């Protein structure tokens, strides 16, 4: 009896979430038509709100007190000085003229030799050759000094990240309480677009290499902490217990069992830290970090595709080299896990060779300065330019068609809806969606985010960025589902595509802008396509893994029941992979957001532009800071709504 009543109530009282969501969206459009254009909280690029003025004042006050307030004198300035001296030391070593000499301590020959030697020792022959070739290529590109600056900054940030991150990771591996404490912090740090770390740091540490390095190490540390903790936590209980049963002290347990058995995972963390650091160091060019990133940004800002391509290529090469070497080193640790003792003599011989090369490069000019008469950078840049020109002229019908189709069919209407709606309408829709999909908590978070967004004074820019983010995410999900399902169903496709995706994921966000700038010139659309390409690998992989993880028995029984391939996908695989789809959307969203913002550099405008402008123009500093905050708020809001709609966490 009771159950039937409940069943009945359910059938007539709940029309189902999709219907309700659709109803909310429809209502939005209906109200938008008459209410269009009022209460849109627009703010023109040069205008400032009181908040922005106040932030400018804060900046000025901080600037004025930087050398008097004890807080700065004894804390922030000390940190900056320490980081600065580390970075300067590394730059002196390999990148910049130093110690009264016209060249760095180690010239190109020495660096190539040392890098190859170290790669050989830890990773093996092939990675060593790749590394040597890659580094010589930087010289050939005419980008030796810039590459070494990037490397120096990356190394500096990585060293500090690991020095702090690995001990914290060990602590999190040993202590449940600390683990519980840091996990949400790390989660939060990883959902933040790389961009927004920069602005607040400049407030404390000024613009320059120190700030760049600090931003980088904050961004690069989480993987080191996470993977170290994970490695320690997954050491087999039996090995730990055995050592305890023999009376090992805490330290003996750590050095004898936990660290050796988690070494492989920790090296994986080192790899991810290095890749994250490289990615961030290039972006930190926005706050005046020297190196390849700066070359790319300058070129992007002047729409010089050739130069951007040349420097972007160097970043790609560096990413590939660093990734290959550290991955190979990690595999070696994981597979053998023991010291190799077979090549002592070789070790010494090559060590001497590397030392001799280092000495030569310290002493002789030819080995110090990369000869310019062999550079091919100019040729590369010119070819890239002509390809870009050709693309813009001869492909323009095709590229224009795609661009216009997406711009007019998707982007413009959505942007009109978001930007021209009164703020209260968008806010109400967001809160209603959160209420429909999530819990009380998601409603509160969303409402708070809306209120704070208005507070930043950048509501309209936020809506423009949001429109781009939504369009790009939709495209990412389309790609993610199409390619992901294909890969999930077809092992062969998986084997071919996965390495490409893996490689794509190691690339610094930045370099994606270059080719699309060539194809689509400086528009919102360029930023969107770059964001899609940047975010697609994550989404595709998650979907593919989700489809693959469906138990074979389920798929078999559906096949036995005579499902067609299409029925199989729509009736079995997609519904069962729904948690993965949500996760893919969530991750895709975060990646897209960070890239759309970077797109501010290439004409995407909106929040990204506000942030970039804030770095370069003093009176826009406060506005840039507020824009950074707006990006974080957007990120949190989208993340919450996406998470709330995930079946595992949703209400019923």
Partner 1 sequence: MSTETVISVRDLWKVFGHKADRVPRSDELKALTRRELIERTGCTAAVREVSFDVAPGEVFVVMGLSGSGKSTLVRCLTRLVEPTAGQVVFEGEDILGAGKRRLRDLRRHKFSMVFQNFGLLPYRQVIDNVAYGLEIRGASKAERLRRAREVIDLVGLEGYEHSYPDQLSGGMQQRVGLARALAVDPDVLYFDEPFSALDPLIRRDMQNEVIRLHREVGKTMVFITHDLNEALRLGDRILIMRDGRQVQCGTGDELVGAPADDYVRDFVRDVPRASVLTLRWVMRQPRPDDVLDGPELGPEVVIRDAVRTVLAADRPVKVVRDGTLLGVVTAEEILTVVTDVEAVA
CA distance 81 to 206: 11
Q: Which positions from 295 to 334 touch partner 1 by CB under 8 A, shown as an x/- string? A: ----------------------------------------
Q: How far is the CB of 241 from partner 1 (least distance, A)?
A: 6
The closest of 533, 415, 431, 526 to 470, measured between CA atoms, is: 415
Q: What's the CA angle centered on 363, arms 362 and 368, to 5 degrees?
A: 55
Cβ proximity to partner 1, 4 vs 245, nearer residue: 245
Q: How far is the CB of 337 from partner 1 (least distance, A)?
A: 4
Question: Any idea of the CA torsion for 133, 138, 142, 143, to the nearest 10 degrees?
Answer: -170
Do 598 and 300 form a contact (C-beta atoms < 8 A)? no
Cβ proximity to partner 1, 249 vs 386, nearer residue: 249
Cβ proximity to partner 1, 5 vs 245, nearer residue: 245
Q: Which stretch binds partner 1 (CB under 8 A): 244-252, 289-297, 471-479, 587-595?
A: 244-252
**Three-state DSSP class for 40?**
coil
Residue with tokens 């347990």: 253
Do 481 and 473 form a contact (C-beta atoms < 8 A)? no
What is the Rg, in whole angstroms, of the alpha carbon atoms belonging to the chain? Answer: 27
Site for partner 1 in 144-173 (CB under 8 A): none
**Cα–Cα distance list, 313 to 318, 321, 324, 600 (Å):** 9, 12, 16, 21
Q: How far is the CB of 166 from partner 1 (least distance, A)?
A: 19
Cβ proximity to partner 1, 150 vs 262, nearer residue: 262
Q: How far is the CB of 259 from partner 1 (least distance, A)?
A: 10
Given candidates 246, 348, 389, 405, which one binds partner 1 under the rule CB under 8 A?
246
CA distance 94 to 115: 11
Do 326 and 260 form a contact (C-beta atoms < 8 A)? no
Binding residues for partner 1, how many (CB under 8 A)? 20
Q: Which stretch binds partner 1 (CB under 8 A): 19-27, 254-262, 613-621, 640-648?
A: 254-262
Is 234 a binding residue for partner 1 by CB under 8 A? The answer is: no
Is 241 a binding residue for partner 1 by CB under 8 A? The answer is: yes
The two three-digit tokens of residue 442, written as one number: 């998601």
CA distance 226 to 234: 12
Is 261 a binding residue for partner 1 by CB under 8 A? The answer is: yes
Cβ proximity to partner 1, 1 vs 339, nearer residue: 339
Q: How far is the CB of 359 from partner 1 (least distance, A)?
A: 37
Given candidates 68, 245, 397, 652, which one binds partner 1 under the rule CB under 8 A?
245
- Burial of 49 per CB tally in 10 Å (0-12, 13-18, 19+): middle
Q: How far is the CB of 255 from partner 1 (least distance, A)?
A: 11
Q: Which stretch binds partner 1 (CB under 8 A): 18-26, 48-56, 237-245, 596-604?
A: 237-245
Given candidates 82, 181, 242, 405, which one binds partner 1 under the rule CB under 8 A?
242
CA distance 465 to 609: 10
SS in 3 state form for 252-280? HHHHHHHHHHHHHHHHHHHHHHHHHHHHH
Cβ proximity to partner 1, 235 vs 278, nearer residue: 235
Given candidates 97, 208, 256, 378, which one binds partner 1 under the rule CB under 8 A?
256
Given candidates 9, 61, 85, 252, which one binds partner 1 under the rule CB under 8 A?
252
Cβ proximity to partner 1, 334 vs 441, nearer residue: 334
Is 44 a binding residue for partner 1 by CB under 8 A? The answer is: no
Cβ proximity to partner 1, 257 vs 481, nearer residue: 257
Do 193 and 594 form a contact (C-beta atoms < 8 A)? yes
Chain-centroid distance, C-alpha 444: 28
DSSP letters, 114-140, are: HHHHHHHHHH-HHHHHHHHHHHHHHHH
CA distance 338 to 333: 7
Taking every pair of Cα atoms in the chain, the longest distance, rounded to a whole number of angstroms, is: 95
Q: How far is the CB of 154 from partner 1 (least distance, A)?
A: 30
Q: Which stretch binds partner 1 (CB under 8 A): 80-88, 243-251, 311-319, 501-509?
A: 243-251
Is 174 a binding residue for partner 1 by CB under 8 A? The answer is: no
Is 244 a binding residue for partner 1 by CB under 8 A? The answer is: yes
Cβ proximity to partner 1, 260 vs 650, nearer residue: 260
Site for partner 1 in 330-359 (CB under 8 A): 337-338
CA distance 601 to 282: 14
CA distance 567 to 558: 9
Is 243 a binding residue for partner 1 by CB under 8 A? The answer is: yes
Q: Which stretch binds partner 1 (CB under 8 A): 249-257, 320-328, 385-393, 494-502?
A: 249-257
Given candidates 3, 5, 68, 238, which one binds partner 1 under the rule CB under 8 A?
238
Q: How far is the CB of 246 from partner 1 (least distance, A)?
A: 4
SS in 3 state form for 192-212? CCHHHHHHHHHHHHCCCHHHH
Cβ proximity to partner 1, 34 vs 247, nearer residue: 247
**Three-state DSSP class for 490?**
coil
Cβ proximity to partner 1, 45 vs 236, nearer residue: 236
Site residues (vs partner 1, CB under 8 A):
236, 238-249, 252, 256-257, 260-261, 337-338
């Amino acid at each position: 009896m009771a159950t039937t009543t409940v069943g009945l109530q359910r059938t007539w009282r709940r029309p189902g979430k999709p219907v309700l969501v659709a109803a909310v969206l429809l209502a939005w459009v209906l109200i938008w038509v008459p209410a269009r254009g009022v209460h849109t909280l627009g703010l023109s690029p040069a205008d400032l709100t009181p908040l922005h003025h106040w932030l400018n004042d804060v900046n000025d006050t901080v600037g004025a007190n930087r050398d008097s307030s004890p807080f700065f004198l004894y804390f922030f300035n000390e940190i900056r000085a320490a980081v600065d001296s580390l970075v300067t030391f590394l730059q002196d070593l390999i990148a910049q003229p130093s110690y009264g000499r016209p060249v760095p301590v180690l010239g190109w020959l020495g660096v190539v030799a040392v890098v190859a030697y170290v790669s050989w020792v830890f990773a093996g022959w092939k990675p060593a050759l790749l590394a040597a070739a890659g580094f010589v290529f930087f010289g050939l590109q005419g980008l030796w000094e810039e590459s070494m600056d990037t490397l120096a900054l990356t190394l500096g940030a990585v060293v500090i990240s690991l020095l702090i991150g690995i001990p914290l990771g060990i602590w999190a591996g040993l202590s449940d309480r600390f683990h519980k404490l840091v996990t949400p912090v790390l989660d939060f740090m990883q959902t933040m677009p790389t961009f927004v770390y920069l602005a607040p740091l400049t407030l404390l540490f000024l613009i320059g290499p120190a700030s760049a390095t600090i931003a980088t190490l904050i961004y690069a540390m989480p993987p080191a902490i996470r993977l170290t903790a994970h490695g320690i936590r997954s050491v087999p209980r039996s090995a730990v217990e055995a050592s305890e049963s023999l009376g090992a002290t805490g330290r003996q347990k750590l050095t004898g069992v936990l660290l050796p058995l988690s070494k492989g995972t920790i090296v994986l963390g080192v790899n991810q830290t290095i890749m994250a650091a490289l990615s961030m160091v290039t972006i930190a060019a926005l706050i005046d970090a020297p190196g390849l990133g700066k070359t790319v940004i300058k070129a992007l800002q002047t729409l010089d595709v050739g130069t951007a391509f040349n420097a972007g290529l160097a970043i790609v090469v560096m990413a590939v080299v660093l990734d290959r070497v550290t991955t190979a080193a990690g595999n070696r640790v994981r597979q053998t896990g023991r010291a190799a003792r077979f090549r002592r003599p070789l070790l010494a011989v090559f060590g001497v060779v590397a030392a001799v090369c280092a000495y030569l490069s310290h002493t002789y000019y030819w080995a110090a300065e990369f000869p310019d008469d062999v550079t091919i950078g100019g040729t590369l840049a010119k070819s890239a330019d002509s390809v870009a020109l050709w693309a813009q002229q001869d492909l323009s019908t095709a590229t224009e068609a795609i661009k216009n189709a997406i711009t007019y069919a998707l982007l413009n209407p959505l942007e009109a809806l978001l930007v021209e709606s009164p703020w209260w309408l968008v806010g109400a829709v967001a809160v209603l969606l959160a209420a429909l999909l999530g819990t009380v908590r998601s409603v509160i978070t969303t409402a708070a985010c809306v209120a704070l967004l208005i507070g930043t004074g950048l509501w309209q820019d936020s809506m423009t960025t949001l429109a781009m983010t939504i369009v790009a995410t939709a495209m990412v999900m389309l790609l993610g589902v199409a390619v992901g399902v294909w890969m999930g169903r077809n092992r062969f496709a998986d084997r071919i595509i996965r390495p490409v995706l893996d490689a794509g994921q190691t690339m610094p966000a930045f370099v994606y802008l270059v080719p699309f700038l060539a194809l689509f010139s400086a528009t919102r659309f360029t930023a969107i396509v770059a964001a899609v390409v940047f975010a697609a690998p994550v989404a595709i992989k998650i979907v593919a893994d989700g489809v693959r993880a469906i138990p074979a028995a389920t798929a078999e029984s559906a096949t036995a029941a005579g499902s067609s391939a299409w029925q199989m996908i729509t009736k079995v695989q997609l519904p069962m992979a729904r948690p993965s789809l949500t996760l893919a959307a969530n991750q895709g969203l975060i990646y897209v957001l960070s890239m759309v913002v970077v797109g501010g550099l290439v004409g995407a405008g909106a929040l990204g532009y506000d942030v970039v402008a804030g770095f370069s123009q003093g009176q826009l500093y406060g506005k840039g800071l507020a824009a950074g905050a707006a990006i974080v708020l957007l990120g949190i809001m989208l993340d919450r709504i996406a998470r709330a709609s995930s079946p595992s966490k949703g209400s019923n």
